[in-house]
Amino acid sequence: MSLILDKINYYYGKGTAFETAALKNISLTIPDGEFIGLIGHTGSGKSTLIQHMNGLIKADSGSIYFNGQDIYDKDFKMTELRRKVGLVFQYPEHQLFEATVIKDVLYGPTNMGLDKLKAEVLAYGSLRAVGISEDLLDASPFELSGGQKRRVAIAGILAMNPEILILDEPTAGLDPMGRFEILNLLKAIHEAKGITVILVSHSMEDVAEFAERLIVIDDGEIKYDDEPRKVFAHAEDLRKMGLEVPQCTELMGRLADRGLDVDRNCLTIDEAVESILNGNRRK
Partner 1 sequence: MVNFDKVTFEYIRRDEEGNVESINKALDEIDLDVKKGDFIAILGANGSGKSTLARHINALLTPTEGTVYIEGLDSKDEDNHLKIRQKTGMVFQNPDNQIIASLVEEDVGFGPENIGVPTKEIWERVAFALDKVGMTAYREKSPNNLSGGQKQRVAIAGILAMKPECIVLDEPTAMLDPKGRREVIETITELNKNEDITIILITHYMTEVIGADKIFVMNKGNIKLSGTPREIFKEVDLLKEYQLDVPQVTEIAHRLRQKGMNLPECVLTVDELVEALATGDRG
Interface positions with partner 1 (CB under 8 A): 40-43, 90, 145-147, 169, 172-179, 202, 204-205, 242-244, 246-248, 250-251, 254-255, 258-260, 269, 272-273, 276-277, 280, 283
**Residue number with CB closer to partner 1 (30 or 255):** 255
Residue 250 CB, nearest approach to partner 1 (Å): 6
**Which letter, b or e, does each residue of 124-152 get, where b requires 16 or more Cβ atoms within 10 Å of its Cβ?**
bebbebbebeeebbebebeebeebbbbbb
CB 167 within 8 Å of CB 175: no
Residue 203 CB, nearest approach to partner 1 (Å): 8
**Residue number with CB closer to partner 1 (31 or 43):** 43
- Complete edge-to-edge strand list for the sheet that includes strand 221-226: 85-88, 164-168, 196-200, 35-39, 213-218, 221-226
CB 46 within 8 Å of CB 200: yes
**Residue number with CB closer to partner 1 (24 or 202):** 202
**Which letter, b or e, does each residue of 21-50 get, where b requires 16 or more Cβ atoms within 10 Å of its Cβ?**
bbbbebebebeebbbbbbbbeeebbbbbbb
* Dihedral sign, Cα of residue 211, residue 215, residue 216, residue 219: negative
Q: Whole-angstrom Cα distance, residue 144 to residue 151?
A: 10
Residue 268 CB, nearest approach to partner 1 (Å): 9
Residue 180 CB, nearest approach to partner 1 (Å): 8
Q: Whole-angstrom Cα distance, residue 170 to residue 41?
A: 16
Residue 91 CB, nearest approach to partner 1 (Å): 9
CB 189 within 8 Å of CB 129: yes
Give the CA count within 13 Å in the CB-facing half-sphere of 39.
27
Residue 200 CB, nearest approach to partner 1 (Å): 11
**Residue number with CB closer to partner 1 (82 or 229):** 229
**Residue number with CB closer to partner 1 (104 or 206):** 206
**Residue number with CB closer to partner 1 (92 or 246):** 246
**Residue number with CB closer to partner 1 (177 or 192):** 177
Residue 133 CB, nearest approach to partner 1 (Å): 17
